Amino acid sequence: MMQSRNKLLLFFIIFFTCSNLSAQHGINKDSLLNAVNTDNENIETVDALNQLAKFYFDINIDTAIFFGNKALTLSEKLIYDKGIADSYRNIGRAKTISGHYKESFDYFYKALEINEALQDTLSIGKNYASIGIVHYYRRSKYGAFGISTLQVSSFALCLFIAIIFIFSTICQMHYIFC
């Protein structure tokens, strides 16, 4: 049982790491910084700020949080819900990396609420996966005896729900394009 759970977790870590690396590979930091340094306050600037937040996850977590907060502020000003949700998720990921699990939960649940209203199934799945990963990290940090059965169940449930949402999105894309 424990071994199969570890294999499942390893799969998700590799999957999300690879998807994160491939996403970062295509990021042109200089062009994003140029887009951000203009005085344009538009959706493209929000998207560039969120991409910069992702770019800095592995380089400088404080800079990632800075760009995430900047994207959040501009998204709220523009009333750009997808930008707000992406900003919350990016800040949540940065908080997870820095070990601030309680704060990361708050950001992921805010993002999840917006993504559900937008019916963005892929982002819903990503948020559930992120929530599940935070449950796992909390379990690792506090040890097996410092975690409740509810938290272990929440981890498994979040990963299961994430799989369903991601799979349903892939099936929808296959139906549209094939």
Q: Tens of pLDDT along 37-90?
A: 666 788 999 998 999 999 888 889 999 999 999 999 999 999 999 999 999 999
Q: What is the CATH number of the domain that holds 136?
A: 1.25.40.10
Question: How many distinct helices (H) and strands (E) make up the chain?
Answer: 8, 0
Rounded distance between C-alpha atoms, residue 139 and residue 110, angstroms? 22
> What digits encode the pLDDT tens for the residues 91-140?
999 999 888 988 998 999 999 999 999 998 888 888 888 888 888 777 65
Q: 165 pLDDT band (50/70/90 cuts)?
A: low
Residue 159 CB coordination number (10 Å): 23
Rounded distance between C-alpha atoms, residue 176 and residue 178, angstroms? 6
Domain range for residue 166? 2-177
pLDDT of residue 117: 95
Between 6 and 146, where is the model more confident?
6
| Mean pLDDT of the chain, nearest integer | 74
Query: What total number of domains does the chain contain?
Result: 1
pLDDT of residue 121: 86
CB 91 within 8 A of CB 60: no
Max CA pair span of the chain: 55
Q: 10 pLDDT band (50/70/90 cuts)?
A: very low
